Amino acid sequence: MRVLRAGMVLWGWCMVLVIAACLVGLMMPSHQIAYLARYSLTDEQSISIVDIAHDLSLPLRGHFVVLPDGILGFRREEEGLIFTEPFRSSRDFLIPDTEGVAGWIDAAWSPDSTRLALVSAAANNSFSLNPRIFISDGVTLRNLMPQRTFRSIGGIVWSPDGTRIAFVAYERVRSFPAIYVLQVNSGSILQLSPDDAYVGQAAWSPDSTQLAFAMAPDVAADIYVINVDGSNLRNLTDSPAYELTPQWSPDGTRIAFASRLDDSTEIYVMDSNGSHVQRLTNDLRDELSPQWSPDGEYIVYETRNSSFNTQVHIMRADGSDQQQISYTGLTGSSPVWLP
């Protein structure tokens, strides 16, 4: 009995050390990826954290969502909603219940995690959500567009320097969506893309001077780049394929994107001026949504088979060492790099 008790104590301490090592590993800079995982057909989605250097997989359960720029946790309290970013800041953001706001439909952390941008849904019964973009610093909540009306807003993303927010919006019923840039300090809004084409979510260049996005003036969609002041719109791909989800490399010299020409969607990279296009994947599955690691050494992406089941894969930036990393669940989706 003493041996058994001692063994149980030793096992308990070993588990403490393992958990402590995992938590320390999560706080150290490394190649860590968060993604949505489903563990069974009846289970709700949770978040898994994978460290590709230390073979760590740690599930994170609770009220969390994966954003393109991190993880957003939230819980309901009597005074309102509490938002938090568990891996960048220990401070909770209280978003009080606000008159005229029925809820929040999109969110994005500022690059330094000191502010949270939120898209509101109006508390009315009309077809239009009449959304607004708000900014919170954890203490105050500010409406950045009290006078401007949009039918819908989505795809909000901060510029790396924290001075602007890009978003995709429908301004009126039966219109095309357009890309807009909002000045955080002044609240001024500038439309960048034309009125006669479908567009996807924009991606900022690392120096905050340009935006890349997919645009479809006709059947095909190409990757375009435009200056933040609306000048110098240019088509980088100009191909018969359907291209989408561009992402700048951290040094700003290359852009990764997905392209569908034949029966599957594959991952490509090109120089930021559209030259030297290189195909990285070649598979019967669809490869989607590439994202560069913070050091530019890796690209994480989703795969989707003929049954529309998704998994998370990773490869080096040159396309080598492709491997699946979402083994903790039946499906994996929405990968994002952690700081």
Q: How far apart are CA 222 and CA 200, in angstroms?
A: 10
Q: How far apart are CA 144 and CA 259, in angstroms?
A: 35
pLDDT, mean of residues 210-237: 94
Q: How far apart are CA 109 and CA 324, in angstroms?
A: 28
pLDDT value for 176: 87
The pair of structure tokens assigned to 290 is 């590439």
Helix (H), strand (E) at residue 9: helix 2-27
Reduce the DSSP state of residue 20 to 3 states and report it: helix
Residue with structure tokens 């909603």?
81
pTM, entire model: 0.84
The 10s digit of each residue's pLDDT in 36-54 is 887 666 666 677 878 877 6
Give the gyration radius of the chain's Cα atoms. Answer: 21
Nearest to 85 by CA among 52, 119, 108, 59: 108
Helix (H), strand (E) at residue 319: none
User: Please, where are the H alpha helices in 33-112?
Assistant: none
Type of residue at 134: F
Nearest to 192 by CA among 219, 226, 145, 242: 226
Q: Do residues 200 and 211 make contact, with C-beta atoms less than 8 angstroms apart?
A: no
177: which DSSP letter? P
Q: How far apart are CA 180 and CA 134, in angstroms?
A: 15
Residue with structure tokens 């010299």?
253
Reduce the DSSP state of residue 40 to 3 states and report it: coil
- pLDDT band of 6, cuts 50, 70, 90: very low
pLDDT value for 30: 53
Is 141 a residue whose pLDDT tops 80?
A: yes
- pLDDT band of 150, cuts 50, 70, 90: confident
Question: What rounded mean pLDDT belongs to the chain?
Answer: 82
Type of residue at 51: D
Q: How far apart are CA 119 and CA 115, in angstroms?
A: 13
- pLDDT band of 18, cuts 50, 70, 90: very low
Please give the residue that has the higher pLDDT: either 41 or 196: 196
Q: How far apart are CA 297 and CA 282, in angstroms?
A: 20
